[in-house]
Amino acid sequence: MKKLSLFLIGLFLIPSLFLTSCDKGDDLNVVSAPAFTLMKDYLITNNMDINQIITNTDGEKFVTAPPATAADVPAFIAKYTILDIRSADAFAAGHIEGAKNIAFKDILTEGAAASKPVLMVCYTGQTACYATALMRMYGFSHTQALKWGMSGWNATTAGPWNGKIGVEEAKGHSNWSYGGAPTNNVFSDPSFTSLSTDGGTILRKRVEDAVEAGFKTVTGTDVLNNPTNYYINNYFSEADYSGFGHIDGAYRILPLTLADNSYKGLDPATNAKVVTYCYTGQTSAVVTACLRVLGYDAYSLTFGMNGLYNTNSAFSSNQWGADSKPKDLPLVQ
């Protein structure tokens, strides 16, 4: 009788063990998508591809020009919560009325507390553009940067730009070329880990880490003298790539978006320093912010073409000292 009972119990246990084993096997066979893929899909679905960080779905570009005249200033500043990320000393010497001086590391906290769209302000517009891109990727899609920074607001605060265009680094340099662009490569995706399987959560953490790390830049001098140390992307139109000339060996990956996989033209290797350069260093700052969040070891070339070759005859816009000069807008102390 005892043996019969044990036999019957065994018959009941065998299916239970089988089903439990199957359940565990199914769980083991479930493979989550890579963190990069989850974040990429989230960015595309939520209109935060790289081109949509540059210009949001409402048509607002990442940068906005200062008002034309002093009379236009009150209406201009009324639209924004103005966050000035310059040093305390520079802020005290002269700033836009109503601006708040903050540390770069506090931009996300201040963005969350803002009651109006944020206007980021720095010395030249470059760090502010980097901050703007990170703010937009974090969900503050109407954030903008002041074009040219405080250098464009008033002649007394224009020193950072005025001091960077006197030396023509690229003119006559052996590493400056007018040839065609090399054929773009096709690389695999960047790779990083996350404890989350939610694309939005992964993105926010990546942005927070980028804010903590700060703006990553390289000088035109270093890239021009050592181009093989970098994976260089010239963010110009095809006509300007040859018309302006370019750093020898620079690729031209434009468009540069997730949706069309053109981002795969960039090298995600941990030892590949991806440097982007544009005309002013402002667009490249935005691109660099996006790339760092995506997992690239990315850098922005400071002052762009203006720093490399400001007198280049191909300039028709965004040339500091020509079509772009400091205005005479009011400062407060």
* CA pair distance 143, 163, nearest whole angstrom: 28
Phi/psi class of residue 303: alpha, beta or left (left: φ > 0; alpha: ψ in -120 to 50)? left
Greatest Cα pair distance, the chain, in angstroms, is: 104
Catalytic residue among 122, 129, 278, 290: 122
Q: Please give the structure tokens belonging to residue 299.
A: 């850098």
Q: Please give the structure tokens belonging to residue 87.
A: 């040093």
122 included as an active-site residue: yes
Give the residue numbers annotated as catalytic, written as ranges: 122
